[in-house]
Amino acid sequence: MNIAIGAELPPLTVETSTTFVISTAIATRDFQDVHHDADAARARGSEGIFVNILTDTGLVQRFVTEWAGHDALVRSIAIRLGVPCYAGDTLTFTGAVTGRDGDEWEVTVTGKGDLGDHLTGTVRVVIPGEAP
Amino acid sequence: MTGIEEAAARIAEEGPSERRFARDPVNQAMINNWAEAIGDRNPVYTDPGYAATSVHGGLVAPPAMAQVWTMPGLRGQRADDDPLSAMMSIMDEAGYTSVVATNSEQRYHRYLRHGEHVAASTRLEGVIGPKRTALGEGWFVTTVTTWYVGDEVVADMVFRVLKFRPSDASGGAEAGDVLRPVVSKDTEFFWEGTRVAELRIQRWGGTLRHPPGPTPPDGDLGAVPDYVVAAGTGTVYSFVVQHHPGVPGKTTPFVVALVELDEGVRMLGELLDAEPSQVHIGLEVEVVFVPVEAGLTIPAWKVRS
């Protein structure tokens, strides 16, 4: 792999079905009702159940390491949430290499859902054999 | 400083919570569930043969699972000294009943391995609000969590949530969805009065003042006020009819009247059960006390019969 600032990552699309939202919430041990109980989510002012932030962090990690390779070392993941990602939405991740600091590459990520930008984030990752 | 800000300052001052161990040590079963649900197929998490030949030299946990290990779980109780849970309770009581995460910034100092038992400690970084957001009025609560294996820091996180009162626009009005007066040291006697059906007016010597304030109209800083209980009758001095925008807990249109009390001061309140077209300046009204929730009674007006 030949990495350079400005390089774009292959997009990743995730269908956030009801099963996806609930199974990821449980797998991240997040039992907040808004992630598995549609009636409770609506009573709290939401359109329905939505993806939790621990899953977003996991998806961003998956997106970057699928590109960077199995031996890439993820050093940090910072995400900021925008509009919610509800069950039934399609979430598409795009990203690009935006900088480097020592042996860490900085990748900027956007996750776009049906309502717009669901998240923006920055990942720092060390890629063996790609020392700057 | 508001009550919420005072509580936040107190909780922040208490510093980090005791370190709390994860339910389970790092283990393959939870990693498998997580990788399957997220769709992460990296074999360094799940394939011992591959992992042995990788940079890790063996299986590791996905770094993004750092927080997962120490989540409280379905029946889990947060620790008594957990600052986030303390802050959430205070917000719930203040009517900010919903919560949504907004920011997560995690740093992974190294990858975790099977059998390691992480412990987490959290401190309150700060509370900002109230802010108007698309979801409703709310407060941003920021915490910092550090994960340890033994005394080694293995990961840390800045985490921010919005604790909010759902806006009426969704149609999901809740019991907590009501406008509350701000109660200060200068006004608490007034709200104590409404709870016992007394309309109390601040008195500085021979002068009545409403709304109540910290100093008398003549500015004498040494003066101390008391109050008189008003008869509760007066006339409409001015009024507005609210058509738009909607107000939580109210059906539009409704009338807000500025009433001149018989004692001489003027006081605002909703004029209940009145046709807007029938309301006029000089209309004779009397006070009614409307219980809103435990501990809160708001004075309003009705046309005197």
Domains, chain A, ranges and CATH? Answer: 7-126 (3.10.129.10)
Structural domain total, chain B: 2
The region, left, alpha or beta by phi > 0 then psi within -120 to 50, assigned to residue B39 is left
Residues of A with CB under 8 A from a CB of B: 14, 20, 23-24, 26-32, 34, 42-46, 52-62, 65-66, 70-71, 73-81, 84, 128
Select the residue from B68, B70, B177 to test the A interface by mutation, using most A Cβ atoms within 10 A.
Answer: B68
Q: What is the pLDDT of residues A13-72, one digit of tens each?
A: 999 999 999 999 999 999 999 999 999 998 877 889 999 999 999 999 999 999 999 999
Q: What is the pLDDT of residues B40-69, one digit of tens each?
A: 999 999 999 999 999 999 999 999 999 999
pLDDT at B168: 53
B144 is a domain residue:
yes
Contact B97 A44 (CB under 8 A): yes
CB-based contact, B191 to chain A, within 8 Å: no
Residue B171 pLDDT more than 70? Answer: no
pLDDT at A57: 98
The 10 Å Cβ neighbour count of residue B173 is 16
* Closest alpha carbon within chain A to B72: A29
As a whole number, mean pLDDT of residues B188-194 equals: 93
B176 is a domain residue:
no
Taking contacts as CB-CB distances below 8 angstroms, the residues of chain B near A80 are 102-103
pLDDT at B248: 74
B169 is a domain residue:
no
Residues B106 and B193 in one domain: no
B15 is a domain residue:
yes
Mean pLDDT computed over every residue of chain B: 90
ipTM reported for the complex, 2 dp: 0.97
Residues B14 and B63 in one domain: yes
Backbone angles phi, psi at A29, to 5 degrees: 60, 40
- Considering the entire predicted model, what is its pTM? 0.69
pLDDT at B47: 98
Please indicate whether residue A89 or residue B183 has the higher confidence score (pLDDT).
A89
As a whole number, mean pLDDT of residues B284-289 equals: 94
Q: Which of B160, B150, B149, B59 is nearest to B106 (CA)?
A: B160
pLDDT at B181: 85
* Closest alpha carbon within chain A to B108: A75
* pLDDT band for position B170 (cuts 50, 70, 90): very low
Share of residues in chain B with pLDDT > 90 (%): 65
B70 is a domain residue:
yes
Task: Give B207-214's long-range contacts (Cβ < 8 A, gap of 24+).
Answer: B208/B263, B208/B264, B208/B265, B209/B265, B210/B261, B210/B265, B210/B266, B210/B267, B211/B187, B212/B186, B212/B187, B213/B186, B214/B186
Residue A16 structure tokens? 């956030």
Kindly report the CATH number assigned to the domain that includes residue B130: 3.10.129.10
Select the residue from A44, A47, A91, A120 to test the B interface by mutation, using most B Cβ atoms within 10 A.
Answer: A44
Residues B87 and B154 in one domain: yes
How many whole angstroms from its chain centre is CA B103?
18
* pLDDT band for position B184 (cuts 50, 70, 90): confident
Residue B222 pLDDT more than 90? Answer: no
Q: What is the pLDDT of residues B59-117, one digit of tens each?
A: 999 999 999 999 988 987 778 889 998 999 999 988 898 888 899 999 999 999 999 99
Average the pLDDT over each of B47-51, B245-249, B252-256 and give the range with the smallest value.
Answer: B245-249
The closest CB to that of A27, out of B37, B108, B135, belongs to B37
Residues B28 and B115 in one domain: yes
Q: Is residue A53 within 8 Å of A28, Cβ to Cβ?
A: no
pLDDT at B40: 98
Residue B169 pLDDT more than 70? Answer: no
pLDDT at B1: 62
Report the SS3 class of residue B196: coil
Last residue of a domain, one of B108, B130, B164: B164
* pLDDT band for position B172 (cuts 50, 70, 90): very low
B152 is a domain residue:
yes
Report the SS3 class of residue B289: strand
Contact A78 B106 (CB under 8 A): yes
